[in-house]
Amino acid sequence: MKAIIHHKNQDFEVNLAQPIDISIPLTNTDQNPIAWYIEKPVIEPVRFGDWIGKVSEGKSSTNFNNIFFNPHGHGTHTECLGHITRDFYSINESLQQFFFIAELVSIQPEQQGEDRVITKTQIVTALADKKPEAIVIRTLPNAAEKKSRNYSNTNPPYLDEAAATFIREIGIEHLLIDLPSVDKEHDEGKLLAHKAFWNVTDVTTLNADARTNATITEMIFVKDTIPDGSYLLNMQIASFENDASPSKPILYTIP
């Protein structure tokens, strides 16, 4: 099924029957990715005394599960600047549009001492003067293990502050990456890339030019078979009044 999408004074023919899902499913198995020192998600039937909300148990006509998870630590999620501010900001209020032109780039982080860092130079080179609304960063090597990795205490790669600043300065509003955070795992709470991208200078008193509509999506996975280039991005979130929500970013090939 094909559709003509009119976006930013441009028309794109998109094949809606060929979505490219770059999210990681949330499960209650050991295959679920984990970050930030928490346990795997819990998905289990509701219990009232002897009654169990599970059809296969023979006592319920429906499956009726509780789900306990953390959006930041259990898979693909989209967050707003409320993730780092004293005052409350909701991703459900911050993200009001859901289709964007995105550029998918593949980058092998540079070794800097014990760290692996995505630098401004690498971002500049990868974008090649393009200024999309969203950037999707696939880090190399692109092991399928990303979909089930326990990132806790592994010092994953991260985005340099100057790279995040450059992304903001060229007008990119949505940053998607296949890592648990754009910042270093143990950084003494500095959160330099988060602050640079959202243009937050003081987390206690929000500056007037902070980017309340910009989002960061972490823990995506983009298969090697998907080539770098321009795509139509559909950002799908659950309607949580929270700083972050589990999300399902979808790419569509455009001419």
Q: Would residue 134 count as lying in a domain?
A: yes
The CATH number given to whatever domain includes residue 146 is 3.50.30.50
| CA separation for the pair 6, 83 (Å, rounded) | 32
Number of domains in the chain: 1
Structure-token pair, residue 86: 């004293």
Q: Would residue 150 count as lying in a domain?
A: yes
Q: Would residue 35 count as lying in a domain?
A: no
Q: Would residue 133 count as lying in a domain?
A: yes
What string of pLDDT tens digits covers the 255 residues of the chain? 788 888 888 888 899 999 999 999 999 999 999 999 999 999 999 999 999 999 999 889 999 999 999 999 999 999 999 999 999 999 999 999 999 999 999 999 999 999 999 999 999 999 999 999 999 999 999 999 999 999 999 999 999 999 999 999 999 999 999 999 999 999 999 999 999 999 999 888 889 999 999 999 999 999 999 999 999 999 999 999 999 999 999 999 997
Q: Would residue 62 count as lying in a domain?
A: no
- pTM for the model stands at 0.96
Residues with Cβ within 8 Å of 9's Cβ and at least 6 positions away in sequence, in order, are none
Q: Would residue 59 count as lying in a domain?
A: no
| CA separation for the pair 82, 205 (Å, rounded) | 12
Q: For residue 110, give its domain range.
A: 2-25+71-253
| CA separation for the pair 90, 76 (Å, rounded) | 17
